[in-house]
Amino acid sequence: MNTTNAFSIRPAEPSDVAHIHAMILELAVFEKLEHQVVATEAMLHEGLFGAKPACEAIIGVANGEVVTFALFFHNFSTFLTRKGLYLEDLYVRQAHRGHGYGSKMMVALAQLALERQCGRFEWTVLDWNVNAIKLYTGMGAELLPEWRICRVTGDALQQMAKPG
C-alpha cells in the first residue's frame, strides 16, 4: 500500500489479529470505554477473515513493530448511489504518536476509497479528541454538526426488534 522510510502500511493478515486486538483494548482505555469491550481475538478473526468478513483492516509497521491499525468497511449512500468507505477505528499506539503515522493511514484509506470508486470516506470522532479533530480538519474533512449518531444495542435492540 504505502511505504515511507521505516514505516509501511499493508492489509492486515490473520497473524496480525493479536496486535489489532491489543490496540483495540488500548483504544478503549484511551476513550474511557474499556467497560464496553467484549471483543476477543477469535471474534475479531471471524470479523476480518471468517467465511463472511464484516470488515477489513490495514496496519502500520514501524521498524518491524505493528504501531497502528485502521478497521473499516463499506457502507452505501442512497443519494450518491455508490458505496462509501467507513472508518470504524484508527489507532496509533501512544509511544508512536507525533510521527505522522495517523495522517499516513488516512491518506492510504482515502487512496483505497478512490481505487474502489467510493463516493465518500466517512468516520466519527469524539468531540473531546481535539488532536484528532485538528488532524482531520487539517486534511480537509468536514465536521457535520447537524448529524447525530443513533445507536441501539443489547436489551434496547432486543426490545426494538419485537413486533408490534
| Domains with residue ranges and CATH for the chain | 2-160 (3.40.630.30)
Backbone angles phi, psi at 89, to 5 degrees: -150, 140
Q: Which of 86, 91, 101, 136 is catalytic?
A: 136
Which pLDDT does position 2 carry in this prediction? Answer: 58
Q: CA-to-CA distance for 51 and 66, rounded, in angstroms?
A: 25
- Catalytic (active site) residue 136: yes
Q: Is the dihedral of CA 61, 56, 24, 108 positive or negative?
A: positive
Q: CA-to-CA distance for 101 and 91, rounded, in angstroms?
A: 10
Which pLDDT does position 1 carry in this prediction? Answer: 61
Distance of CA 27 to the CA centre of its chain: 11
Which grid coordinates belong to 76? 452505501
Which pLDDT does position 5 carry in this prediction? Answer: 57
Which grid coordinates belong to 146? 447537524
Distance between terminal CA atoms of the chain?
Answer: 49
DSSP code of 93?
Answer: -
Which pLDDT does position 164 carry in this prediction? Answer: 84
Instruction: Check if the beta carbon of residue 61 is closer than 8 Å to that of residue 86.
Output: no
Instruction: Check if the beta carbon of residue 109 is closer than 8 Å to that of residue 70.
Output: yes
Residues in the chain predicted with pLDDT less than 70, given as ranges, are 1-5
